[in-house]
Structure 1
Amino acid sequence: MIKVNGKSAEEAEGSILADFLEVEGYSMTRIAVECNGEIIPKAAYGERILKDGDCLEVVNFVGGG
């Protein structure tokens, strides 16, 4: 099972990280992703395959002042 921001995301298993994020509606230019305590560089999103036991934290950047 994969967890994303504390919630189960079983459908993500076996997906490429970039594809999963796009399907979930994340804007690639406004997020940072941590997987199992490690920050994933944006350049690696297209190579990272999600596997059972992964724990993702996806953080959206918000502008404003």
Structure 2
Amino acid sequence: MHVTVNGEVVELSESTPLLDYLISRNLNPAVLVVEYNRKILHRDRWSQIQIGDGDTLEILSFVGGG
């Protein structure tokens, strides 16, 4: 199964819940914004979304600085 994540094609072995995918990549959900198939998802829906073949994700993180 192929998914595009931040412009790069990633191969997943099976459909995966979005929240599980983020955690498996050692990403902190508290500082992320996720666009799923061109729609920004509210954090409450991340555990309900199953990433499937052909899906597109854009994952952005907040960083502090000055």
TM-score, with structure 1 as normaliser: 0.92
Structure 2 residue aligned with 1:15: 16
Deviation at 1:13, TM superposition (A): 4.4
Secondary structure of residue in 2 paired with 1:18? helix
Q: Residues 1-65 of structure 1: matches in 2 within 5 Å?
A: 1-11=2-12, 13-65=14-66
> After the TM superposition, which segments of 4 or more aligned residues of structure 1 sit over 4 Å from their partners?
none
Which one-letter code corresponds to 1:64 in the other structure? G
Count of matched residue positions in the alignment of Structure 1 and Structure 2: 65
Structure with greater proportional helix content: 1
Which one-letter code corresponds to 1:56 in the other structure? L
Structure with greater proportional strand content: 2
Deviation at 1:12, TM superposition (A): 6.5
Change (3 A) 1:12 1:39: farther
Deviation at 1:7, TM superposition (A): 1.1
**Structure 1: unaligned runs, 5 residues or longer:** none
TM-score, with structure 2 as normaliser: 0.91
**In angstroms, what is the RMSD of aligned CA positions?**
1.2
**Structure 2: unaligned runs, 5 residues or longer:** none
The whole-number CA distance in structure 1 between the counterparts of 2:35 and 2:49 is 12
